[in-house]
Copies of this chain bind each other. A is one copy, B any other.
Amino acid sequence: MIRQAAYAVEPWCVREQSLDLDTLAQSESVFALSNGHIGLRGNLEEGEPHGLPGTYLNSVYELRPLPYAEAGYGYPESGQTVINITNGKVIRLLVEDEPFDVRYGELRSHERALDFRAGTLTRNVEWTSPAGDSVRVRTVRLVSLVQRGVAAIRYEVEAVNRPVRIVVQSELVANESLPDLGKDPRVAGRLENPLVGEESVADKDTAVLVHRTRHSGLRIAAAMGHEIDGPECTITSDDFEDVCRYTIATRLQQGQRLCLVKYLAYGWSSQRSRPAVHDQVIAALAAAKMTGWDGLVREQRQFLDDFWAGADVEVEGDAEVQQAVRFGLFHTLQAGARAERRPIPAKGLTGPGYDGHTFWDTETFVLPLLTYTRPEAAADALRWRHATLDLAKERAEQLGLRGAAFPWRTIAGQECSGYWPAGTAAFHINADIADAVIRYADATADEDFTRDVGLDILVETARLWRSLGHHNAKGRFRIDGVTGPDEYSALADNNVYTNLMAQRNFRAAADLAEEYPEQARRMGVTEEETASWRDAANAIVIPYDKRLEVHPQSEGFTHHARWDFDDTPPDHYPLLLHYPYFDIYRKQVVKQADLVLALHLRGDAFTDDEKLRDFVYYEGLTVRDSSLSACTQAVMAAETGHLELAHDYIGEAALMDLRDLEHNTRDGLHIASLAGTWTALVAGLGGMRQYTTRLTFAPRLPPGLSRLAFRMRFRGRRLKVTIGHDATVYELLGGDPLEIDHYGEPVRLDGGAVRVAVPPFPSRPSPPQPPGREPARRDKTTR
């Protein structure tokens, strides 16, 4: 049984009040700091003990061969794996003769707190050495959201019970040894000593380590500098190939403190020379020092104040969800804030899980949140996809297709999936990217993006779909042999989600080509081509099971045997670790929302009755062995009137990492599930949809909540929506007047708050889930 850490429930903070060594790796993920460019896991400053040391730079990866027992044409030969780069977090402490190590002596108190408004991780420790010397150590750590290449740590040590001689060692360490993570396929491959030293200097002020990766040929520089405040001390420096170290020795009287501010700067490049990346980190360090510690802290808070002003969510009646949704918003912001034309990995920069790869999670689960709260970060992520368009076109050609085929999993744009039925065949990622483009364009009216980036992506993905599908003898457009979102099925015909998303892709591409005729012409788009997209969209096959009156996930799905849930022991989940794909694929069992995700994202393509019947049907089959499910089930539970169930699923999505529900938070946070919590609240309970350029709401509150309020950005405005059981208040916090829909009725917002009644709606009892797979109940009193 994997234990899980216990965090205090506070609205703006995750606080750990004592140190549990068994859950150290989980806490390292939860307490990770990042700005989307630099990622620091919440490792203790003294380096040990650790769960998993982790310092990451977005897109710094190493190549490793992908082996196959039986090779096949078009299989990728090498994969990209995120690597643990130079660790600048290390500050060791010697108290008299004794290294400060929480495993020895007496740990009198140990508290860590991640503050969502300050953007800092603080740590307060009181420790008595085996020899009886007590010290207080207080650290504050930040990764700057304002200065992209900069992180900093304020480290303070105080003599508590008597004078002590102390030595502080502040380091940069490359090629740390990493623990073996076992065989779970969701864990990253481990690479030994991926970095080759190129330069190591530590002068009086500044130390720099430059390394490069062995195979991927990336050059990485890390620099550190310090400010010291306290009694007189002696300072020495060392530099070795993989280590730079400053050693600060002093004597503290009882109650006296030594305070060290450590500035860190990181940079990397696949092209620039060693001197260039060296100079880059020295420059970033100079800027950080000029700003100073207080300045960095102030900048950080201002950045976050601005973010929360357009993003905060208030949840009354469920303090855990209140904390978790802000935790999720904070980490999603950290993952994407400064990624800047680099990918947003499934785990952000919080751990090495899934090899640091980016999947469809980004576009489908993360970007909706960013689109409506920090649109510039959404644009950056899509511009990254656009930057890989040529690679995607090459891949399409290799697969015998037209247009662009984006990779199922990647860091730098090349396909890194070593199992094609759940990789190459999951073509829906292309429609997911297109969908994110459409959503961003409609939600921001960002013309430059739409013309320069959006059009390219939509046209090339529409071309892909056109060549991937074909018309049958009856003139219907089929897309055969693909894998939909549910990873417990593969290689099926006419996956409803895929076909409906391709339909949206086709139509949006045709619309945009007509809107920007000159650009479209330059891409070779003709009227014949746009007409063929519209024809395919209109003729696309959407299978329907008339007997059951539900949509099969894919053609034939409802004819398959149901999984034998009754004979599946509770410890046999996730199924993929206990049953062969052969068995899983051929039966009715759903890992994660697939048809139900179509009900959400293409809700315009279903009637209310269909939504209800489909939702209930798939509830009985969905085991949620993926973190990408509960949030979508929450949305559709809410829309179909299962409000308590919606609340339950919101809880599950929200607490995925704070409660380690999938037992793998140690490898990194589930950014998509964290972002999905926002979607579950805003699109679920808020009923927010945007199928066109118009924003619509259909708010409804479960019995367990008394009030839900959220802020969002939309086409240059800031809005606030406050939902009660009887009425909803819409407020325009900034920007031009706007008309929205409330339950299908237009509501005009031009300054003040507008209060409108919430119509009564059915509250339905939960449909059955597979035995043992029901979500934990949020509101136990009401059932």
Give the Cβ gap from A133 to chain B, nearest Cβ, in Å.
50
Out of B70, B482, B585, name the residue touching A481 (CB < 8 Å): B585
Instruction: For the complex, give the distance between the alpha carbons of A656 and B556 in Å.
Output: 40
Per the 8 Å Cβ criterion, residues 43-71 of A in contact with B are 66-71
Give the size of the chain A interface in residues (CB under 8 angstroms): 53
Segment from A420-428, A532-540, A631-639, A692-700 that makes contact with B: A420-428
Evaluate whether A418 and B72 lie within 8 angstroms (CB atoms) in the complex, with A580-B400, A582-B424 already known.
Answer: no
- A interface residues (Cβ-Cβ under 8 A, vs B): 66-76, 79, 183, 185, 398-401, 417-422, 424-425, 470, 472-473, 478, 480-482, 490-491, 493, 547, 555-556, 559-561, 576-583, 585-587
Q: Which residues of B contact A421 (CB under 8 A)?
A: 421, 491
17 example contacts (A-B, Cβ-Cβ < 8 A) are as follows A66-B69, A67-B67, A68-B69, A73-B577, A73-B579, A74-B580, A400-B583, A401-B583, A420-B580, A478-B561, A480-B560, A481-B560, A481-B582, A493-B556, A493-B560, A555-B556, A556-B556
Pairwise interchain contact A582-B74, C-beta atoms closer than 8 A: yes
Verify B185–A559 contact, CB threshold 8 A: no
A472 contacts across to B, CB distance below 8 A: 559
A586 CA / B581 CA spacing, docked (Å): 19
Instruction: Write out the residue numbers on chain B whose beta carbons fall within 8 Å of the beta carbon of A68.
Output: 67-69, 418-419
Chain B nearest CB, measured from A728 CB (Å) = 44
Contact B418 A73 (CB under 8 A): no
Q: A480-B586, A579-B400 are in contact. Are A70 and B559 (CB under 8 A)?
A: no
Given contacts A400-B580, A580-B399, contact A417 B70 (CB under 8 A): yes
Kindly state the separation between the CA atoms of A585 and B490 in the bound complex, as whole angstroms: 12
A581 touches B69 (CB 8 A): no
CA distance A419 to B75 in the complex (A): 13
State in angstroms the CA–CA spacing of A422 and B69 once bound together.
12
Q: Please, which residue of chain B has its CB at the minimum distance from the CB of A421?
A: B421
Q: A580-B72, A580-B399, A580-B400 are in contact. Are A559 and B478 (CB under 8 A)?
A: yes
Cβ-defined contact, B67 with A576, below 8 A: no
In the complex, what distance in Å separates the CA atom of A546 from the CA atom of B400?
31
Within 8 Å CB of A582, what residues of B?
74, 399, 420, 424-425, 481
Is A71 a contact partner of B547 (Cβ separation < 8 A)? Answer: no
CA distance A399 to B586 in the complex (A): 12
Question: Do the beta carbons of B559 and A69 come within 8 Å of each other?
Answer: no
B420 pairs with A581, CB closer than 8 A: yes
Q: What distance in Å separates the Cβ of A546 from its nearest Cβ neighbour in chain B?
A: 12
CA distance A582 to B76 in the complex (A): 13
CA A576 to CA B75, docked complex, whole Å:
12
Q: With a CB–CB cut-off of 8 A, which chain B residues contact A72?
A: 185, 419, 576, 580-581
Choose among B70, B73, B585 the residue that contacts A580 (Cβ–Cβ < 8 A). B73
Chain B residues contacting A583 (CB-CB under 8 Å) are 399-401
Smallest CB-CB A-B distances: 3 pairs: A69-B418, A481-B586, A67-B67
Q: How far is the CA of A602 from the CA of B183 in the complex (A)?
A: 45
Question: How far is A482 from B482 in the complex, measured between Cα atoms in Å?
Answer: 16
Q: How far is the CB of A662 from chain B (nearest CB, A)?
A: 17
